[in-house]
Amino acid sequence: MRQVGLIIFLIVWFWNFTYSQNQCNCDIYKTQFLELETLLEKKNYENFDAIIKSLKTDNLSCKQRVLGFLVEENIIRNEPEKADSILGLLFETITKTTCQEVLAVYNYEKGYLELKKNSFDNATTFLIKAKESASKLGDTLLQAKAISRLAFSFNKLRQPEKAVEYDNLGIKLLANYKNQTQLVQFYSNINGHFGVWYDITADKKYLDSIKKYVPISISLARKLNANTRISQAFSVLAGILWIEKDYHKSLTLCDSSLSYLDPTKHFKSCAAIYQKYCDNYIELKKYDVALKYANLYLEMNTKEDDILLIATSYERLYEVHKMMGKTDIALSFYERTVKIRDSIRTREVTETVNDIEQKYQKSENEKEINKLNYEKETLNQQKEIDKLQIRSLIGIIAAVILLLVVIVFFYRQSVIKNQLNTIEIEQRLNRARMNPHFFFNALASLQNLSLSDSKKDLVPGFISKFSKIMRQSLESTFNELDTIENEISFLTDYLELQKLRSENRFQYEFELDDAIETNELLIPGMILQPFIENSIEHGFKNISHEGFINIRFDIKDKSLQITITDNGQGIKDHEKHKTYPSRATQIIKDRLFLLNKTYKSNANFVLTTLQNDTGIKVEINLPVIYKT
């Protein structure tokens, strides 16, 4: 009945959207929305649904935000098909408003849903857009949530270093934010991401990093009475002590972790602790006690109804019985483990082959069931109505629905096209972000030259170079890639102009591998300019010697390597300890991420300080792309 009620509730709201005004804020429900965030965090769905039903308004933006909350509720409840259906309704309403707030919410919920579908590349694309939009709007909470999901996505992609980078970005963002619930989540997540980093590298420095963050997690969680977060922190420490072979202390921390949980509710968390109990007692060779916790581990995973964790439970029971010398029982659990894992592999293959067909059939069946239930309720309420009138009414409804479907289809195509254009424009603007101070200073220098009798002959050359730079900067917004030849020409004009401004206080040179065809090989336009500008504006600032920049192009290991070296003052001490990326660096990283996604490459850059802080070296690795 809840499903039927929810569908009817959404249909009524969707119908009212047609008559709603185009309003972009929903301050009247600001308090309720914050409460809904907290209830979702606690998974208190009963009170969540009660608040949702109490919200009544004709404000379109308010209704769109409610749809966003309903999407997130169904994602958390592991009902992705319902979430997808409601997200479709939210998408349809975007055509009726120009509100950037709504688009940011849509991108976040779409990215979150793609995470649940294990489509991490798509999720990352939508979440990056949500993060950038939320940043522009000043929506700190939405920005933090998008950053948190991005960290989760990169962790699943086995890129824990990227995940930790986003965790630190979120911690920095929320340092002074009133609602600390999301901050606790960042501290909890970063511990897990450092754990994955340790699993990949076996470097114990990442365990030390976890030990650094866990006390902060516990302190914050206690202030918020977040018992599950406290339990999680103790559980993480117990795992580290197991790795360090301090089994007795690990068991003590397991006791502390379990004391904050309710075994009748927190099945998954309790299961993780019982597994640690079991592992510790195995190492202590107390197999009878280990068997007790292995059975509890199975019991919790059975209640959680997670088939993969149940297989892991059977595997643990197999190990314990084998060590106890009970080979027959051990063999039976081993066979159960193999049977489940084989069935999972078979199911994954089947789902891969039939995924599209199954989704379509489920969607159609659900629509048919909802339609039949609705018609049944309508007939029960309208027993006194003549059969002819009922058939006429159904015919009118069917015609209206058909008309709405046709209108929605064409609107959807139009909106998708507009969104793609918007994304392309945003990317062009990102690529065109040459430092505006450069243009201002260049014009000021031009003014000084024109007023000096001894230097006025330099003005025509100055204007020529400045116009070329302006033209190249504008043209690069329409071309993602450009030839090395054009890029060197642009950089030469840029460097010459900077030399004029600085009265030749630095020199430069370009070096190219003989194998490079400069008029055929392509690179992202203006990708090098921010690094060179940094050398001039910061590296050569306050130095007593003549500056020098070397830009070298090489083909190595089937990739294009570009090395930029200067002899400036290097990175100052206070800059070395920054735990967050600069905006220019983040834009370059996002550009390289999209380039990697398009060309399935591994483009990246590494910035290092030369010995004794005598300069900076930037190594940029790009795929080899030729003109077609």
Does a structural domain hold residue 599? yes
Q: Which run of H or of E encompasses 56?
A: none
Q: Are residues 582 and 482 in the same domain?
A: yes
Q: What CATH number does the domain containing 552 carry?
A: 3.30.565.10
pLDDT at residue 24, as a whole number: 67
Q: How many CB atoms lie within 10 A of CB 294?
A: 28
Q: What CATH number does the domain containing 201 carry?
A: 1.25.40
Per-residue DSSP letter, 272? H
Q: Are residues 496 and 622 in the same domain?
A: yes
Domain boundaries, position 304: 287-363
The full DSSP string for 353-418 is HHHHHHHHHHHHHHHHHHHHHHHHHHHHHTTTS-HHHHHHHHHHHHHHHHHHHHHHHHHHHHHHHH
Q: How many helices (H) and strands (E) does the chain have?
A: 24, 8
Q: Are residues 445 and 427 in the same domain?
A: no
Q: Are residues 515 and 581 in the same domain?
A: yes
Does a structural domain hold residue 437? yes
- For 135, the token pair is 């940043």
Q: Residues 280, 254: contact at Cβ < 8 Å?
A: yes
- For 19, the token pair is 């008559």
The number of domains in the chain is 4
- For 223, the token pair is 């202030």
Q: Are residues 549 and 593 in the same domain?
A: yes
Strands 616-623 and 625-626: unpaired
Does a structural domain hold residue 532? yes
Does a structural domain hold residue 566? yes
Show the low-confidence residues of the chain (pLDDT under 70).
Answer: 1-24, 95-98, 344-388, 417-442, 444-446, 448-449, 451-456, 472, 474-478, 572-584
For 111-134, the pLDDT digits (tens) are 888 888 888 888 899 999 989 988
Q: Are residues 417 and 437 in the same domain?
A: no
Q: Are residues 475 and 421 in the same domain?
A: no
Q: Residues 446, 469: contact at Cβ < 8 Å?
A: no
Q: Are residues 438 and 426 in the same domain?
A: no
pLDDT at residue 394, as a whole number: 84
Q: How many CB atoms lie within 10 A of CB 509?
A: 9
> Where do the DSSP E strands lie in 50-193?
none
Q: Residues 137, 101: contact at Cβ < 8 Å?
A: yes
Strands 547-556 and 559-566: antiparallel
Q: Are residues 622 and 524 in the same domain?
A: yes
CA distance 54 to 37: 16
Q: Are residues 353 and 423 in the same domain?
A: no
Q: Residues 608, 531: contact at Cβ < 8 Å?
A: no
Q: Which of 261, 295, 317 is the last residue of a domain?
A: 261
Q: Are residues 420 and 468 in the same domain?
A: no
Tokens 């239930």 sit on residue: 373
Q: Residues 482, 522: contact at Cβ < 8 Å?
A: yes
Does a structural domain hold residue 254? yes
Q: Residues 115, 124: contact at Cβ < 8 Å?
A: no
Query: ∠ CA(25), CA(26), CA(30), 5° rounding?
Result: 130
- For 184, the token pair is 């606790």
For 499-558, the pLDDT digits (tens) are 887 888 899 999 999 889 999 999 988 888 888 988 888 888 888 889 999 999 999 888
Q: Are residues 408 and 485 in the same domain?
A: no
- Cα 200 from chain centre: 21
Q: Residues 66, 102: contact at Cβ < 8 Å?
A: no
Q: Show Cβ contacts of residue 483 under 8 Å, excluding neighbours closer than 6 positions.
A: 518, 519, 520, 521, 522, 523, 627
CA distance 561 to 538: 24
Q: Residues 174, 180: contact at Cβ < 8 Å?
A: yes
